[in-house]
Amino acid sequence: MTDDGLAWFENVLGKASNDEQADMSDARCPKCNARDFIKIADLYVESLGRQEEGAEPSEPAREGGLTDAQIIKKFAPPRQKSAVVVALAVAVPLAAAAYYVYRRFGEIPGQTSFVVVGVVTIVVLMTKARSLSDKYYHQRRRWNRMFMCRKCGQLVAS
């Protein structure tokens, strides 16, 4: 019984520590049938490092026939976007409408309309932040699992 519990615990820890590790050792390129792949994240970091060191302007083509500048432009990691712009786009017109209600109908309806504007803005902000966060982590996971054939430049997802 203790061996089963220990095996289960090691399995859980193994799965937790094995965070999205992809293995392309047995895969073949669908285009050129080669077995030589490089992870896009590693390729990007290497190219960025070479460019920061001051590589020559007429640099040679690297993996897949791409130069460092092309690799950096094409395979940049996804960036997380902000939900503040959308929240402001919702809040400003609603605040203007609430101000109109305040001036036209008085203090009680006006204050109520400002509270409604605050609640709606918070709901929009939180919903959009969650949506952008989900999209970012999906793109990041996909980027981390993408490989490129060193010979022909074919992209392969693991």
pLDDT, tens digit, 9 for 90 and up, residues 86-134: 999 999 999 999 999 999 999 999 999 999 999 999 999 999 999 999 9
Half-sphere exposure of 102 (CA within 13 A, CB side): 14
Q: What is the pLDDT of residues 44-94, one digit of tens each?
A: 998 888 888 876 655 677 777 888 888 889 999 999 999 999 999 999 999
User: Tokens 């392309």 label which residue?
Assistant: 24
Taking the complete model, does pTM exceed 0.85, yes or no? no
Q: What ranges do the domains of the chain cover?
A: 84-136
Would you state the structure tokens that stand for residue 108, as one six-digit string?
């009680």
User: Tokens 């020559």 label which residue?
Assistant: 56
Distances (CA, A) of 89 to 7, 84, 116, 120, 121: 53, 9, 16, 12, 9
